[in-house]
Amino acid sequence: MIIENNPKELEAMREFHKGNRQEGLRLQEEFAAEFREEYRDKDHCPCKKACRYHGNCKECVAIHRAHQEHVPNCLRPMLNKKIRLLSELTEHSLASEIEPPKEVLRKEFQEKAPG
């Protein structure tokens, strides 16, 4: 099951935008039910960062809402996609002004030392 850009959830949003709330909610619940079944015992979190809240969305989001400094890592690709569209307005000139922070990744995503 794919989560990002899930066809059923995209269709649900199309229905919501058309004003068909009932169908949108039906499709959304189908997606949620499939998600609950598929990820009952599997890791659904795409975050690569080393974090004790990995996979615990409820606490992770609460922490980010509380400190208000940045968004959870799992939401960054979606937000960056939207920001990229805005950045086109200035020919992405902001990119040369930004240096991303160094982050500590989970062990399975850390680069192996040569040798």
Distance CA 95, CA 76 (A): 16
Give the model's pLDDT for residue 114.
54
CA atoms within 13 A on the CB side of 23: 12
The tens digit of pLDDT for each residue in 67-97 reads 999 999 999 999 999 999 999 999 999 888 9
Distance CA 26, CA 29 (A): 5
Q: How many of the other CB atoms lie within 10 Å of CB of 12?
A: 22
In the predicted model, what is the mean pLDDT of the chain?
A: 91
Distance CA 35, CA 101 (A): 32
Task: Give the three-class secondary structure for 43.
Answer: coil
Dihedral, CA of residue 73, residue 59, residue 54 and residue 34, to nearest 10: -90
Give the model's pLDDT for residue 106.
78
pLDDT tens, N- to C-terminus, the chain (115 residues): 999 999 999 999 999 999 999 999 999 999 999 999 999 999 999 988 888 999 999 999 999 999 999 999 999 999 999 999 999 999 999 888 988 888 778 788 777 655 5
